[in-house]
């Protein structure tokens, strides 16, 4: 009687156990299906945003399309917010996350990361005629920064004597001050500087030095070893071939810097 009851219980549990096992979109599965689903930024230009013609455009979108082309499969772009990136990967709603995502130990508990594919940093930007290559050389310049940001904290702590830090309430005011000549140097994120250059094509602005780096990595679901290996080879290939450098110049207005490999 007891044995019959145990068999009946196990039989009842078996379907639930089978349902609970998630599907894995490994490299072979993607190739067999002929489609790859890639999460891209919903609204974070210049990495990803809805373009004027109704299609998503940006650095991350171009990288996603390159991946699909190299795999020889169709692509399904899945716009996500920052909070959706890891859950969408964990629940198999996407195969990869290419959404300007930084790697850190906390996130690495949940997913795997590729080598870095895109630069993301805070830096100092100024015209090409200004010989500035470090924070010490900001002495004597009017430096614009958005108050309360990471950049503000770094400048407050490390700024040299003679620097004039001018704090603004938001990025828009900080950008406007640089465009109008109220400041000599603008300290901000590289994406903000890229948008500044794109909106003002005649403006002379270039990267002088990096204050803090936080490059972007591609997210891969844990366990998908072959897919992670392929993505890392893809990134290396696009670095060596100049494709990522072209995208960096196109969307970020700068040459691709050295990026860390995992």
- Sequential pLDDT tens for the chain (262 residues): 444 444 444 444 444 443 433 434 689 999 999 999 999 999 888 899 899 899 999 999 999 999 999 999 999 999 998 889 999 999 999 999 999 888 889 999 999 999 999 998 889 999 999 999 999 999 999 999 988 887 888 899 999 999 999 999 988 899 999 999 999 999 998 888 888 888 899 999 999 999 888 899 999 999 999 999 999 999 999 999 999 999 999 998 788 989 999 8
Contact 70, 78 (CB under 8 A): no
Say what the pTM is. 0.73
The 10 Å Cβ neighbour count of residue 255 is 11
pLDDT of residue 159: 93
| Radius of gyration in angstroms for the set of CA atoms belonging to the chain, rounded to a whole number | 23
Of the candidates 259, 232, 237, the residue with the CA atom closest to the CA atom of residue 27? 232
| Strand positions, DSSP E, the chain | 35-41, 49-50, 56-57, 74-80, 96-101, 112-118, 121-126, 142-146, 164-168, 185-189, 206-213, 216-220
């Amino acid at each position: 009687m007891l044995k019959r009851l145990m068999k009946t219980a196990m039989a009842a549990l078996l379907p639930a156990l089978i349902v609970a096992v998630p599907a894995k979109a490994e490299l072979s599965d993607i190739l067999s299906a002929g489609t790859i689903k890639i999460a891209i930024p919903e609204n974070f230009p210049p990495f990803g945003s809805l373009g004027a013609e109704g299609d998503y455009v940006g650095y991350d979108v171009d990288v996603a399309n390159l991946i699909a082309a190299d795999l020889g499969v169709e692509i399904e772009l899945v716009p996500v917010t920052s909070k959706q990136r890891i859950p969408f990967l964990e629940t198999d709603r996407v195969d990869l996350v290419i959404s300007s995502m930084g790697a850190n130990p906390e996130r690495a508990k949940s997913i795997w990361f590729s080598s870095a594919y895109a630069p993301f940093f805070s830096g100092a930007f100024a015209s090409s005629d200004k010989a500035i290559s470090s924070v010490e050389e900001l002495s004597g310049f009017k430096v614009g920064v958005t108050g309360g940001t990471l950049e503000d904290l770094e400048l407050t702590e490390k700024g040299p004597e003679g620097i004039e830090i001018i704090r603004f309430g938001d990025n828009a005011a900080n950008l406007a001050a640089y465009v109008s000549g109220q400041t000599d140097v603008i300290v901000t994120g590289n994406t903000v500087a890229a948008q500044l250059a794109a909106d003002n094509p005649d403006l002379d602005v270039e990267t002088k030095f990096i204050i803090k780096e936080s490059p972007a990595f591609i997210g891969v679901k844990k366990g998908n070893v072959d897919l992670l290996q392929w993505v890392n080879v893809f990134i290396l290939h696009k670095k060596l071939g100049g494709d990522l450098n072209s995208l960096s110049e196109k969307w970020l207005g700068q040459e691709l810097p050295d990026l860390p490999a995992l």
